Amino acid sequence: MSEQKPETAVQLEPQNNMSNADYIAAQNAVMRGRIDKMKALSEEGIEVFASGFRPRNRASDLHERYKNSTNEELEALGAKGEIAHLAGRIMAVRLFGKGAFAVIKDSTAKIQIHISKSVLGDEAFELFKRLDIGDIIGVYGPLFYTKTNELSVRAQHFELLSKSLRPLPEKWHGLTDTESRLRQRYVDFIMNDEVRNVFALRSRIISELRKQMLALNFLEVETPMMHSLAGGAAARPFKTHHNAHNMELYLRIAPELYLKRLIVGGFERVFELNRNFRNEGISRRHNPEFTMMEFYMAYETHESMMQYVEKIVQNVAESSIGTHKIHWSGYDIDLAGPWRRLRIREAVAQALDLPESALADREVLERAARELPEPPLPAQIAAQSDGHLLMAIFEQRCEASLIQPTFVCEYPASVSPLARRNDAAPEFVDRFEVFIGGIEIGNAFSELNDPLDQRQRFLDQIEAKAAGDEEAHPMDADYIRALEYGMPPCAGCGLGIDRLVMLLTACESIRDVILFPLLKPEH
């Protein structure tokens, strides 16, 4: 008995401008052999890239349906003409004389097939022996259990559906080059069920989020991806150009200002689940293209928004993974409420071991900023507002310790240009961010609906941009005009879907939950 083993994967080379003949000649012997085999099969009249085979079964369904059946029961079903009819990729082959066992894999599971010369005939059996691991085939036949109690298909017919020219890697699990796995995601998905399962779970999480929002009477909307002004969040935008109008456009950094225009227009509950784009660095928690869900509710406040966010996340966790308890990055985290509430000044004072009143002293803030692990430049410290310094300290001294779900409240107005001022302390705003596992997954506030206050904040942002703040907001005159028609009291929130999926799937990096994360060009 012999067993075919997967060959080693071949790395892509810069051969884009070669003719096909030169391209083939440049490949290694294994790949050239597969191409020659493909040509030979084609010349014999065998379709190597076929269509029209529509599988009626999935491997996982067959395993589930017949897991308690006996071999006698399966044989009786086969005698009645009940057969399995499925398609998949060949993952392993064991040849022995006039027969063979192979494992094929569809999108749900693997299943074994038995190939017999006596059943298929000489010609078909010889054709099967010429197939390679990675080829995609269609097969049908009755089910049976082997002596080792493995559910298998006794092939009465098979056909080649797609010839694999590039060999699968021998031990994809053992690759230490993470970038290769990310760059060749399609191969990672073929070889690693755990990776595919993450994205199946991601899909369920997003579906559950939509269910939650619709159950709360939100209307799902779509707002522009290309903006004439880059607003709605503090971030550097990606720029593009529209030829017909000869105008510069920006990929949106947030849909906020358009969604609030809808609140002005009378849509009292709206949400959008889509992509944002920010021209920033890449890290375990950041990708320039990412998924957010933003939602806005008329006649609500940031206080009631906390209750909604807590309940939405809890319900999504329970529906998608069946529990409120998660284990992430070495921590046991309980999503069951009530979630902790912590004021910014309270958190920073605790971290610095100072009374909260000391944070009103500018010298205290500057000294704490200079002592940060990654301190701002002296000129930046001198130019920044007290609020910006407070946030810099909070980000480096406090965020990582917020493991259990925590609402961090009362942000400085100077770093929150779109949020409503707190009635008792106007230098702060009615805003919160929610942290789980030491990472921020959401940002929310009672929305500023005073058009003149908003206009002055935009003017302040223009000054900040002139002073070198590349993330400052521009003046959006049309948004001010919308507010002048009157926006009802309103609260809004943005949830980072990729980060939420990281937590619920126990993935350490945002790249593990994005199908095709941004990478540098291969060559």
Print the SS3 string covering 233-266. Answer: CCCCCEEEEECCCCEEEEECCCCHHHHHHHHHCC
Asked whether residue 292 is domain-assigned, the answer is yes
Residues 228 and 107 in one domain: no
Can you give the pLDDT at residue 12? 53
Q: If you compute the radius of gyration of the chain from its CA atoms, what whole number of angstroms results?
A: 29
Three-state SS across 342-361?
A: EEHHHHHHHHHCCCHHHHHC
Q: Which of 374, 206, 178 is nearest to 284 (CA)?
A: 178
pTM across the whole model: 0.91
Residues 488 and 502 in one domain: yes
Asked whether residue 367 is domain-assigned, the answer is yes
Can you give the pLDDT at residue 1? 44
Give how many domains the chain has, as a whole number: 3
Residues 469 and 440 in one domain: yes
- Under a CB-based contact definition with an 8 Å cutoff, are residues 441 and 435 in contact? yes
Residues 280 and 142 in one domain: no
Sequence-ordered list of residues with C-beta below 8 angstroms from that of 223, at least 6 positions apart, any chain? 252, 255, 258, 259, 262, 272
What angle in degrees, to the nearest 10, is found between the helix axes of 386-397 and 362-370?
40
- Work out whether strand 226-227 and strand 151-154 pair parallel, antiparallel, or are unpaired: unpaired
Asked whether residue 125 is domain-assigned, the answer is yes
- What CATH number should be reported for the domain holding residue 441? 3.30.930.10
Residues 208 and 320 in one domain: yes
Residues 322 and 367 in one domain: no
Residues 324 and 369 in one domain: no
Asked whether residue 303 is domain-assigned, the answer is yes
Asked whether residue 439 is domain-assigned, the answer is yes
Residues 332 and 349 in one domain: no
Residues 364 and 418 in one domain: no
- Under a CB-based contact definition with an 8 Å cutoff, are residues 160 and 41 in contact? yes
Q: For residue 63, what is the DSSP state? A: H
Residues 318 and 351 in one domain: no
Can you give the pLDDT at residue 457? 92
Q: What is the full per-residue pLDDT of the chain (523 aa) written as tens digits?
A: 444 544 444 455 556 788 999 888 888 999 999 999 999 999 999 999 999 899 999 999 999 999 999 999 999 999 999 999 999 999 999 999 899 999 999 999 999 999 999 999 999 999 999 999 999 999 999 999 999 999 999 999 999 999 999 999 876 554 547 888 898 999 999 999 999 999 999 999 999 999 999 999 999 999 999 999 888 888 899 999 999 999 999 999 999 999 999 999 999 999 999 999 999 888 999 999 999 999 999 999 999 999 999 999 999 999 999 999 999 999 999 999 899 999 999 999 999 999 999 999 999 999 999 999 999 999 889 989 999 999 999 999 999 999 999 999 999 999 999 999 999 999 999 999 999 999 999 999 999 999 999 999 999 888 888 888 877 888 999 999 999 999 999 999 999 999 999 999 999 999 999 999 999 887 7
Residues 113 and 233 in one domain: no
How far is residue 467's CA from residue 507's CA, in Å, rounded to a whole number?
39
Q: Which amino acid type is present at position 13?
A: E
- Domain region containing 368: 345-400
- Under a CB-based contact definition with an 8 Å cutoff, are residues 114 and 152 in contact? yes
Can you give the pLDDT at residue 13? 54
Asked whether residue 180 is domain-assigned, the answer is no
Residues 45 and 132 in one domain: yes
Can you give the pLDDT at residue 15? 67
